[in-house]
Structure 1
Amino acid sequence: MHDFSSYDLIIDARSPREFEEDHIPGAVNMPVVNNDEYAEVGTLHRTDKMGAYSIGVRYSLANIARHLSEDLPKYPKDGKVLVYCFRGGKRSKLWVDALETIGYNVQKLPGGWKAYRRWVNEQLETAPTKFEYHVLSSPTGCGKTRLLYALREAGCQVVDLEAIARHRGSIIGAVPGTPQPSQKYFDTLLLEELAKCDPTRPVWVEAESKKIGNVQIPTAMLDSMRRGKTIRVHADMQQRVELWRQDYKHFEEDPEGLLERLRFIRSLVGGKEFEEWEQLAAERKMPELFERLMRNHYDPAYRRSILREYPNIDASPLIELHDLSPAGLLEVAKKIRAQYDRKA
């Protein structure tokens, strides 16, 4: 597979819908046909192959002309250009022919996005196994994500799986206004993050279950994390509630929305417990509701889950967090780096 960093411009010639599902990091979508045009050509292709190609070429020439006028001037004329489409076929050829005619230094990606996707899948079977992982584990609200940020600031190697997934990893973990990436693009972004890491140094991650929202962590990554060094993180309940009030402010302002997310676990916690949640929500007693959710659902659920994934977790080192502010966590992170990441 190409060294994509060597190109000044990578053109994804596929439709915007295909690009949104997954694309090479750093690629710019300059489609030869848009979503509607792509669908029209595909429908006609079933009954009139030549007619479909005729319409497709007309659309393509018009769109490429627009890209040449509006988009290409943003990039150096003497730069190195890579073009790809789904299989490296007709859409790539139309772009390459136009750019070569003008005089650009342009290459076509053999096999297109499909070959790239196959390469990503192959890499994710081996790339995660090259690293030693230090895994932060704690019940929800103890600040391990913030500690992960502090570790990065302190100079440690960090892979933030929840940031890549754009999700906090629980049934209420969706980030308002931020859709999750597709599974394919999550894989792409994860591989990109791993490629930045030095295998001679540990990589810090949070303990996660198989799924983060709607995306799944590759098996090789999960297995490698389970073989890593686990470090427990703990904070008192008052701090945990305050952290939830900050991270889940949208639910503090919309307790009904919170209960709607939790409704499908009613059978797990029991009707009486759920009614207690409803009462606290109705009275807008959000600190009390958050604490009850953690004590009566999240903490026991975490305990069951972590013991399945990390049976020896109780023997792991424990770090007490007394100050979840950025400054307080940075001081802790520096001490952790000195103790566990001496090569940093």
Structure 2
Amino acid sequence: MRDNSDDYRSLFLTDVPMMDVRAPIEFGKGAFPGVLNRPLMDDEERRRVGICYKEHGQDAAIALGHKLVKGDLKAARIASWKAFAEANPNGYLYCFRGGLRSQLVQQWLAEAGVEYPRVIGGYKAMRRFLIDTLDEAVRDCPLQLVAGLTGTGKTEIITALDNSLDLERHAHHRGSSFGRHATPQPVQIDFENRLAIEALRVRERGARTLVLEDEGRMVGSCSVPLELFRAMQTAPLIWLDDSLENRVTRILGDYVIDMRAEFALQYPQSPEQAFEAFAAYLLGSLLRIRKRLGPEHFQALDQLMRQALEQQQRNDDVQGHRGWIEGLLRDYYDPMYAYQREAKEERIVFAGDRDAVIGYLQDGRSL
């Protein structure tokens, strides 16, 4: 059998398969990408063992655990661990601290004929490693932020670079009132873990700077880690320009065409229900900024949006959405971003279109 591992760096850089044997409630509060939850105890069993530990000590808690997980239940869980181990012979298992639970799973697997290694220190040690990894990246690598009006394609710049951190992708949110997707955002810890793993990989590729999109503290419900956000407040800005026509087309693709496709995937048996959910997403997103739009602008845009949705549902024509998108950009987002640009003018070190910005960030002038 391979040795148990405490080489967290290699585990994350090489996407080593891992089996998390914590209870589902623990897994739901924070985990690592791609990891499968195969618990030793379910939530209720864990709760009872925890109470026993507090009241009667470790030996009594262990005895209760063996009483709760036995017979057919124990056999079923061993079978699920064995299936994972056989499907992932290069993988590892872990519990919260790399202690009793993971050792017991190892023991029961060994008794079933499978020798399988565990991660020393468990979830807690790996989580600490990722927190430190992101803090070190922020400390050691100067940041550069891509800024610009809504719809200029800032995410496209981030995607094109090999030294970028994609906050919106890891948060599963586009960072605006229309930014949510058809599926939920990750919990905060999952967001932080994914971001730290990307930072680890970017630095492994030899990056000397980190490029991010200029974001607020919150990306939907996910909060940018504090040390990273503090560094972003003084980082130089690269301003991305594009025409209003191109921006409208890009937003039409992102918020109308792509979003309808996302909702269609969520309701594969009911196109009508999918469209209703999509329409509710658009109308609800506009409603969230009603106060900031003011009653007249809101009513005008709401009417344009409803007309566009009717046209789209009737004949699958999305072009009617251009009206409310252009109005939203011109009357809401552009004035807001113009104000923000004025406040940050001294930090802008370069401005240009997509190709110019990518060239600037790639050719060394930005270092």
CA shift, 1:74, in A, is: 1.3
Which piece of structure 1 moves more, 34-43 or 269-278? 34-43
Of 189, 209, 212 in structure 2, the residue corresponding to residue 184 of structure 1 is 189
Asked if structure 2 preserves the Cα contact closer than 8 Å seen for 1:64 and 1:95, the reply is no
Question: Amino acid of the residue matched to residue 213 of structure 1?
Answer: G
Provide TM-score, normalisation by structure 2.
Answer: 0.75
CA shift, 1:55, in A, is: 3.9
- Give CA deviations for 1:287-317 in whole Å, capped at 9, x if unaligned: 1100111111122233444556x4524x431
Corresponding residue of 1:130: 140
Corresponding residue of 2:226: 219
- SS of the residue corresponding to residue 228 of structure 2 reads helix
CA distance in 2, matches of 1:243, 1:9: 37
CA shift, 1:173, in A, is: 0.3
Question: Amino acid of the residue matched to residue 78 of structure 2?
Answer: A
Question: Amino acid of the residue matched to residue 287 of structure 2?
Answer: R
Asked if structure 1 preserves the Cα contact closer than 8 Å seen for 2:171 and 2:222, the reply is yes
Asked if structure 1 preserves the Cα contact closer than 8 Å seen for 2:23 and 2:41, the reply is yes
Question: Amino acid of the residue matched to residue 106 of structure 1?
Answer: P
Asked if structure 2 preserves the Cα contact closer than 8 Å seen for 1:201 and 1:341, the reply is no
Corresponding residue of 2:171: 165
- Give the gaps of 5 or more residues in structure 2: 261-274, 309-319
Provide TM-score, normalisation by structure 1.
Answer: 0.80
Distance 1:268 1:45, change over 3 A: same
Distance 1:104 1:255, change over 3 A: closer
CA shift, 1:129, in A, is: 1.6
CA shift, 1:162, in A, is: 0.7
Identity of matched residues, %: 26
Of 53, 71, 84 in structure 1, the residue corresponding to residue 94 of structure 2 is 84
Asked if structure 1 preserves the Cα contact closer than 8 Å seen for 2:283 and 2:302, the reply is yes
- SS of the residue corresponding to residue 179 of structure 2 reads coil
Are residue 61 (structure 1) and residue 74 (structure 2) matched? yes
- The 5 Å alignment of 1:31-180 reads 31-35=39-43, 37-38=45-46, 52-58=64-70, 61-76=74-89, 79=90, 82-101=92-111, 102=113, 104=115, 106-110=117-121, 112-149=122-159, 151-152=160-161, 156-176=162-182, 178-180=183-185
Of 276, 285, 288 in structure 1, the residue corresponding to residue 323 of structure 2 is 288
- Give CA deviations for 1:214-252 in whole Å, capped at 9, x if unaligned: 111112112223333311001111111010110111568
Are residue 27 (structure 1) and residue 35 (structure 2) matched? yes
Question: Amino acid of the residue matched to residue 353 of structure 2?
Answer: E
Distance 1:270 1:6, change over 3 A: closer
Are residue 13 (structure 1) and residue 21 (structure 2) matched? yes
Distance 1:334 1:91, change over 3 A: same
Which piece of structure 1 moves more, 7-16 or 265-274? 7-16
CA shift, 1:40, in A, is: 6.7
Question: Amino acid of the residue matched to residue 268 of structure 1?
Answer: R
Asked if structure 2 preserves the Cα contact closer than 8 Å seen for 1:12 and 1:31, the reply is yes
Of 202, 210, 223 in structure 2, the residue corresponding to residue 203 of structure 1 is 210
CA distance in 2, matches of 1:302, 1:71: 50
- SS of the residue corresponding to residue 102 of structure 2 reads helix
CA RMSD of aligned residues (A): 3.2
- Give CA deviations for 1:135-193 in whole Å, capped at 9, x if unaligned: 110011011111222x32xxx412111111111011110122x3211111111111111
Distance 1:9 1:283, change over 3 A: closer
